[in-house]
Homo-oligomer: A and B are copies of this chain.
């Protein structure tokens, strides 16, 4: 009843043999899948990665196709539409939504890869790429490509991926390789490797987001052809708002927003009917419940509006053919700041609601337990770290951002 993320569409899951063709249909399927994900959340958590059929359920919503351009047969959703889909999935389960948004980025990566090669690599637009972009591996230049070796942490969804993308520093004859144009004393690139050539290490035992399977992985002396490597500084695809270096982090904040909305609805539903045992007062008439819920709603509304406002403005400018430099500094900083704010606000809301429900929260049978752990864990992701504040703040006052890519500065 209070689920703002639910549409009126009563599409059944069986209808999904046919791929969705519109943003509305994808969103409707995501909304329809949410209760299924909610029911399976405990199982997903115990599995410590998505069960194979859950991956297929996600695929059926079209989420993995949402970032691909129309010319590829993709859905080409706007960032705002993508985020709504992610919210809808996270309303069901955070780990599933996390893997969904990671996998959906495949369409974005394709913009940075040689287009003919991309067509070979991705015969279908619902294929999944996973991996860690931060350069943690070592790539030795060899004729026609590189030999890649390394260990990367946090490979969310990698087990069910088709391709693995990994950041690596480039070496030549064992020495750091500098960019020929002198721009970078030690170049790093992204390397695409088929899933089969990657070894997983079963070490994803965490406070929350337990089902995302974000384990470490290794790649050992694998040959990667030059055309399977790319850099976010060079666009090969059609210029579009999604062919931008910050594009792949935009929709992630749908995960905390969806979880927070779920927790708000859960707490409201309980508060609507509960009676305080000690005093006999209905929670609906209790100052404590009223004020806590209203404060959380206020924070949620602002955090969510901040995300969509920044995202919509950015899309307008980019779609009109502009670049991120055409945004005002405030507008440009607003993007990463709104993501961080969504993560942190979602977690604060879940903490407050956990306390509102007191001992009703602590049992594993309550979703509050999982949401508390999920939001705490996702706030440790780079996107919610102080480094994002540092970078945006430095950008605004003329200092040196530690992590410029969050502002689309490559």
Contacts and interface: CB of A to CB of B under 8 A. Distances in A.
Interface in A260-291: 286-288, 291
Contacts of A286: 287
Copies of this chain present in the complex amount to: 2
A287 B288 CA distance: 7
Interface residues of A, number: 4
A97 to B, nearest CB: 36
A291 B286 CA distance: 13
A291 B288 CA distance: 10
Interface in A283-320: 286-288, 291
A160 B186 CA distance: 65
Contacts of A287: 286-288
A352 to B, nearest CB: 14
Interface centre among A287, A288, A291 (most CB of B within 10 A): A287
A288 B291 CA distance: 10
Contacts of A291: 288
Contacts of A288: 287, 291
A304 to B, nearest CB: 26
Nearest to A291: B288
A286 B286 CA distance: 11
A222 to B, nearest CB: 40
Nearest to A290: B287
Nearest to A287: B287
Nearest to A286: B287
A291 to B, nearest CB: 8
Interface of A: 286-288, 291
4 contacts: A286-B287, A287-B287, A287-B288, A288-B291
Query: Nearest 3 A-B pairs (CB), nearest first?
Result: A287-B287, A287-B288, A286-B287
